[in-house]
Amino acid sequence: MSNEATRAPRVSINLVTFNVKPFLGPCLTAVKAQTYPNLEIQIWDNGSTDGSQNFIKNNFPEFKITQLDKNYGMWPAQEKAWDYSSGEYIMVLSTDVILDPQAIARAVEIFQDDNRIGAIEPKLYQFEFNHDRIRKTQRIDTCGFEIFKNRRIVNIGHGQNDQPEFQVKKEIFAVEGAAPIFRKKTLEDCRLEDGIVDKNMFWYGDDLDLGWRINLFGWKQIFAPGVIGWHHRSTTTSIRKNWRDYLRRVKQRQQIPIRKRRLDWRNIRLALIKNDHFKNVFRHLPKILYREIAVLGYALIFEPQVLLEIPKLVRLIPRALRSRRQIMKKARRSADDILIWFK
């Protein structure tokens, strides 16, 4: 290892794979192209059956791959990887993300400027993927999460062309889960009795849950426009601005796997139960109720299968409340402190 690599803090890039073979080549090639000198690459496979494991071994033999006995879910498997990560910083990298070669180097510079930065959100553009052909765009996929008073969660900039407002580094409510970079110390600070990640969520919504907790615990989460990547989001490509847009997209939503729609609906509500100050809930209660009634009405008409998740949600509420007590006991930001993030 060179002197430069020895001096540079180590960064762990952790990927969790599950039947994503078509994306592995572009993703891992971009990882290999990183200019940062001190990297640790870990790949944890959730029991793929599409040949992903052999593809990695044959084409990227330098990368360590750990084969799990079943599908633990994206973030629960990531937590397993964190326990074996030696990096001071950890990137949670989805396999459908292609990084710019300078991404890690620029992120480390930002972390070292302020030891209260707990997580960095890259500027992710969208890329189109068709029959192994990739077309990168200047259309924004996400610049992180923002939250509204009615508790709607939105990917900042999603579906919009790049513009000056997405070229400014700033603190955000929470990082999104496609390619966030965490300070390992922050992840450990967010550990609860049952671990860092909520295993009951399994898939989707866990990034919001963790990002909200990071905010409550007093860490900064920074959108860094110079840390660039491209993400293939297979479910949506544009943002909905009102309920008429939502209705026009009924057919598009039908293409999203029903399991994802169910888990999205359930897990967002679990995240609210665990992390939302009651004081702020009461402040915004009319807006929250209006939206919940509208969401339920939409589901009843167009997606009744989503409501089959209600019994599971009810069963998980006691566990969520136990986690909430731990979170609120440790929270360093009050309801008034968090209020600034609700649009």
pLDDT digits (tens, 9 = 90+) for 160-192: 999 999 999 999 999 999 999 999 999 999 999
pLDDT of the residue at 204: 85
Q: Considering the chain, what percentage of its residues have pLDDT values greater than 70? A: 94
What end-to-end distance do the CA atoms of the chain give, in Å?
Answer: 48
Position of tokens 């992840």? Answer: 187
Does the pLDDT at position 295 exceed 60? Answer: yes
Tokens of 263: 């888990």
Does the pLDDT at position 5 exceed 70? Answer: no
In 3D space, the residue among 208, 219, 152, 148 whose CA is nearest the CA of residue 184 turns out to be 219
Does the pLDDT at position 255 exceed 80? Answer: no
Backbone angles phi, psi at 195, to 5 degrees: 115, -170
Does the pLDDT at position 155 exceed 80? Answer: yes
In 3D space, the residue among 213, 168, 223 whose CA is nearest the CA of residue 190 turns out to be 213
8 A C-beta contact, residue 196 and residue 177: no
pLDDT tens digits for range 187-233 = 999 999 999 999 999 878 999 999 999 999 999 999 999 999 999 98
pTM of the predicted model as reported, rounded to 2 decimal places: 0.93
Contacts of 138 (CB under 8 A, 6+ apart): 125, 161, 162
